[in-house]
Structure 1
């Protein structure tokens, strides 16, 4: 008597609707369309079925479990040997990582840079929702379809649609490559561009130690000079400040050779401002006095050039205590003597005068 319909229906606002017409179902399908192909499969199809018949909490769990599995896969691909030691977990194999908490998976991915700040924040929120408002635990407030869709959307946006990371580089292997005859700067840049901040920070600390080692060969140090600025620019302020502190410590320990190489490293990366002011002021005063002495000495038009260059290369973060000596040196050289000025020193002097801070200009 009546035509039989095979389509599933849902109830929304007390009104039966075909699945294809249900806006929540359409939003779910839209999310699915952004999932990487290798992440499609049993979890996702099961979640779709559960969602369409109204078991939103169970659908959310399927999506969450797929997202956590994907994060574990990404940790494995990145290299379990790099798993953050801060979490105090012994992770050697894929089985080890299968047994840790979801919160630790998220934390590990964040510390390694596999997920960014935004993803970390939203995934932590998703975990709280999963723990308190889904079938994972007893709850008196079941999740509604909109909240379920929001969690599913975040699982897709921050995990399931994002590509797997490049395997983390092995620092020892990379250092050997830098020392080899096959070393190529452009290839090096390609290798490190997708590495996590954690790995880059560790690598910078290591090449700093290699650079300041008096036993390091000239060829090796020259190769390091080609790449240290590239690495330096990828790390945060805290790590850069640590390098400045290392230089101060070397000077306090009277490690003459190491402190000289450390100073050269800082100059190569234009990092003078990260040297503590107590040390930086003495560096500026010493270089300024040497410059002024060269100006007053024999053949000054020639000898001033290297001193002007060295002083200008220190940058323009001049401590107040060194300002007077600094301004005096560049002013005397810039104005010259009765025989004229040093043409070679003039562009460096011009640069230093143009970049004088307000306190320096008041010295005139």
Structure 2
């Protein structure tokens, strides 16, 4: 977030030959030691370091305070220069909070937050707010908070505890620029009330959905995580209307490629909480949420087993029911979608293989032609373990597939056809002899 954006170098003029001698003349005329002010060497080093730091500040932010800071450095007034650049950093952070949205900040803080509240915030509270809004990260907060302490104790803003040298000032300057002034990103907050109302409202049209996806993409990760979690909760609520559920899926479907590990972890934790609290309806709905978004691999093996086993059972029941030729396709296509999300859990592989093969070879009366493309695609994607299960099941009669092959020539013909989809090199050595026997 706080990476430096390389910009054109800033060319500062050389220090006039009269500046450094003038400082000596001034201290002499006031009868004070020259050592009370920064030495000529410190001023020269600080001045030479300025262009490297200033080039990281966008041109539109190189305003009056930056100019005053440069003038102060040229005369060795590092305490004054520190105060100027700190004020510039604070003004920038306030601008980022405004851009985030004062109304959204009020929602997050759950209290009134207007312009006067922003202006009245102490610097320490402003930094805490910026951390909460993810305007600065933890590193930036820690280092800027250190700068705040240094500014309070060693700058011209208050009576000082001591003096700082050129290197200490340059470090202070670098941190103010790096974590406040150089970062051009300025996330916009999402109005939480409007967002929830939209999700729970009428069915999204394409433009409306895209606008909300864009807004969630532009906000910071912490708020995006919170809102994705809210959407998951809306989907899992048994009282949620179907349009709201579909809106939830559309939003998360548009964002899932940008889900960070933190967002995925939060979703898993929310799902697990339903299990722990015995909220069965919400648990089942949450499984559907992960299933429809293609996120099943995030769940543990027992959860995946449940989803796959349930889908296989539904296909098998439809296949053995009335009008199976017309009813099978959507169940076959759904199982195909699941199988493409990741490896089939070992605990359900045999049930999966036998069901798909039985449906594909038919029941003696024919096959559901509309479902054939889904079956064929699943068979072509069989793992070596599933290929071995397929061939072993065909060689014995005490299972549904073997029984059909033993009693129906059309089923045997269909099985030999789909077995041809398997590359011979993919056939495990343990069933190679049976494979060759069937193919003959």
TM, length-normalised to structure 2: 0.63
Aligned to 1:124: 142
Deviation at 1:303, TM superposition (A): 3.7
- Per-residue Cα deviation, 1:260-309 (whole angstroms, up to 9, x for no partner): 55444333322223445433322222222332344455655444322222
Q: Does 1:73 align with 2:91?
A: no
Contact 2:271–2:283, Cα closer than 8 Å, also in 1:
no
Deviation at 1:112, TM superposition (A): 2.0
Alpha-carbon distance in 1 for matches of 2:270, 2:381: 25
Q: 1:338 to 1:153 in 2, by over 3 A?
A: same
Contact 1:316–1:352, Cα closer than 8 Å, also in 2:
no
Q: 1:24 to 1:319 in 2, by over 3 A?
A: same
Aligned with 2:131: secondary structure? Answer: helix
Contact 1:316–1:356, Cα closer than 8 Å, also in 2:
no
Aligned to 1:48: 70
Deviation at 1:51, TM superposition (A): 1.7
Aligned to 1:241: 268
Q: 1:64 to 1:346 in 2, by over 3 A?
A: farther
- Per-residue Cα deviation, 1:90-119 (whole angstroms, up to 9, x for no partner): 67344545565645533432332323x4xx
Q: Does 1:326 align with 2:352?
A: yes
Mapping 1:170-181, distance limit 5 Å: 170-177=191-198, 179=201
Contact 2:106–2:112, Cα closer than 8 Å, also in 1:
no
Aligned to 2:230: 206
Deviation at 1:63, TM superposition (A): 1.7
Q: 1:336 to 1:29 in 2, by over 3 A?
A: same
Aligned to 1:270: 294
Aligned to 1:35: 57
**Alignment partner for residue 253 of structure 1, among 267, 271, 279?**
279
Aligned to 1:192: 216
Contact 1:241–1:274, Cα closer than 8 Å, also in 2:
yes
Q: Does 1:228 align with 2:255?
A: no
Aligned with 1:113: secondary structure? Answer: coil
Aligned to 1:280: 304
Mapping 1:2-151, distance limit 5 Å: 7-9=18-20, 22=44, 24-36=46-58, 39-80=61-102, 82-83=104-105, 92-97=113-118, 102=123, 104-115=125-136, 117=137, 120-128=138-146, 131=149, 135-136=154-155, 143-151=164-172
Aligned to 2:3: none
Q: 1:127 to 1:225 in 2, by over 3 A?
A: closer
Alpha-carbon distance in 2 for matches of 1:9, 1:359: 82
Unaligned runs of 5+ in 1: none
Alpha-carbon distance in 2 for matches of 1:294, 1:195: 46
Q: 1:327 to 1:112 in 2, by over 3 A?
A: farther
Between 130-139 and 316-325, report the one with greater CA deviation.
130-139
Alpha-carbon distance in 1 for matches of 2:273, 2:168: 50
Q: 1:131 to 1:176 in 2, by over 3 A?
A: closer
Instruction: Report the number of matched residues.
Output: 347
Aligned with 1:345: secondary structure? Answer: helix
Alpha-carbon distance in 2 for matches of 1:182, 1:267: 21
Alpha-carbon distance in 2 for matches of 1:294, 1:149: 74
Q: 1:210 to 1:43 in 2, by over 3 A?
A: same
Q: 1:34 to 1:282 in 2, by over 3 A?
A: closer
Q: 1:96 to 1:342 in 2, by over 3 A?
A: same
Aligned with 2:228: secondary structure? Answer: helix
Alpha-carbon distance in 2 for matches of 1:286, 1:338: 25
Aligned to 2:12: none
Aligned with 1:68: secondary structure? Answer: helix
- Per-residue Cα deviation, 1:190-219 (whole angstroms, up to 9, x for no partner): 333311223222322333333344554444
Deviation at 1:135, TM superposition (A): 0.7
Q: Does 1:291 align with 2:315?
A: yes
Q: 1:331 to 1:180 in 2, by over 3 A?
A: closer
Deviation at 1:355, TM superposition (A): 5.3
Aligned to 1:155: 176
Aligned to 2:410: none
Q: Rg: which structure is higher? A: 2
Deviation at 1:41, TM superposition (A): 3.7
Aligned to 2:333: 309
Write 1 or 2 for the structure with the bigger share of helix: 2
